[in-house]
Amino acid sequence: MVSPLLDLAGLTLEVNHLERGIRFYTHLLGLRLLTHDAAAGVATLAVNPYQTLTLWQPITRQHNDARLAPLRARGAAHLHYAWQVLEADFEGCAEILNAHGLPWQRIELGTPERPDPGLYFFDPFGHGLELRGINPDDERRTLFMPQPQPRPAYSLPVVGLRELALGFDDYPAMKTRLPRAYGFAFAKEQSERDFSQFTLGPRAEEDGNGTPQRWLYAWDPQVGLADMLGGEHALAHFYADVPDVRRRVVAEGLPFVDLPGDHESGLAVRDPAGHVFVFLPSPESSSAPIQEESS
Ligand SMILES: [Fe+2]
């Protein structure tokens, strides 16, 4: 099966204080603020030309995004997710976290011959962040390869979003539903715990060891590495072959809304586990990537 998934486009986090969220993500991660609407409780930040991080502060009797209101979309709660940094920059990241006074934990995920460490820390809202090194010369590719971004020296030199880990109460149902209802490419399952890996690209690949690829991890309710939890009621954006995903979603009978675009429409779906997935056409085939602000 060729998956209609092309890449990870963005994540939306639930925060209880929008201004604090903007401060944390612009200072520590060096992300550029694209939009800030205090009345809507929404801030969007550019990760790179193709990926965004969005912060939603929930407000009573309001929806952060009216288009997604029929799906009762929320930002993710206690989401474990990972950032990409160049392998050459990885060792300097602990010092930057120290300078910000943030505790961190390092876990070796590779082998003595091929180290692949992860650096784990929490944001102020209980989301579990991870830094992973990528090798830009790796033969494995993702559609939108991470590129070094201009960041202040006091910020982590992140180049892209790498992974998200979502919680699913009904793990067996998830395992069959994600490939069938959306076309996610199942790559691997861990033997010691309920933990599936899906490659966010056309074909399942090997994870780890500096891959620039992006990943969806799906767990049953559990505490993962570095005491981090899978996200609940997450909102995630993916680049995809939208008509292909739409056919699957209609056949599955899931609630969805079409999101009209300038050239090609996107699609938002509410998964039975309470997550909302947004599938967007590749910006290469439609409109331009995230615009730079002209100021
Ligand atoms: Fe992780």
Q: Where are the domains of the chain?
A: 5-280
What is d(CA 119, CA 91) in angstroms, rounded to the nearest whole number?
10
CA of residue 225 to ligand 1 center, whole Å: 7
CA of residue 134 to ligand 1 center, whole Å: 14
What is d(CA 26, CA 35) in angstroms, rounded to the nearest whole number?
12
What is d(CA 182, CA 249) in angstroms, rounded to the nearest whole number?
6
> Cβ of 8: how many Cβ atoms within 10 Å?
28
CA of residue 181 to ligand 1 center, whole Å: 24
Average pLDDT over residues 246-257: 98
CA of residue 133 to ligand 1 center, whole Å: 12
Kindly tell me if the per-residue pLDDT of 180 is higher than 50. Answer: yes
CA of residue 166 to ligand 1 center, whole Å: 11
Token pair 């620039």 is at which residue? 212
Kindly tell me if the per-residue pLDDT of 15 is higher than 50. Answer: yes
CA of residue 3 to ligand 1 center, whole Å: 22
CA of residue 58 to ligand 1 center, whole Å: 26
Kindly tell me if the per-residue pLDDT of 6 is higher than 80. Answer: yes
Kindly tell me if the per-residue pLDDT of 26 is higher than 60. Answer: yes
CA of residue 67 to ligand 1 center, whole Å: 30
Could you tell me which CATH number the domain at 5-280 has? 3.10.180.10
Alpha carbon distances (Å) from 27 to 23, 209, 278? 6, 28, 28
C-alpha 146, offset from chain centre = 14
Q: What contacts 91, CB < 8 A, 6 or more positions away?
A: none
Q: How confident is the model at residue 139 (pLDDT cuts 50, 70, 90)?
A: very high
Helix (H) or strand (E) holding 166: strand 158-167
pTM higher than the cut 0.75: yes
Average pLDDT over residues 223-252: 98
Q: How confident is the model at residue 288 (pLDDT cuts 50, 70, 90)?
A: low
CA of residue 126 to ligand 1 center, whole Å: 15
DSSP code, position 9: E
Among 167, 188, 194, 185, residue whose Cα is nearest residue 271: 167
- Looking at residue 30, its pLDDT comes to 97
Among 211, 174, 272, 243, residue whose Cα is nearest residue 4: 243
Q: How confident is the model at residue 254 (pLDDT cuts 50, 70, 90)?
A: very high
Which residues crowd ion ligand 1, with CB under 5 Å?
82, 130
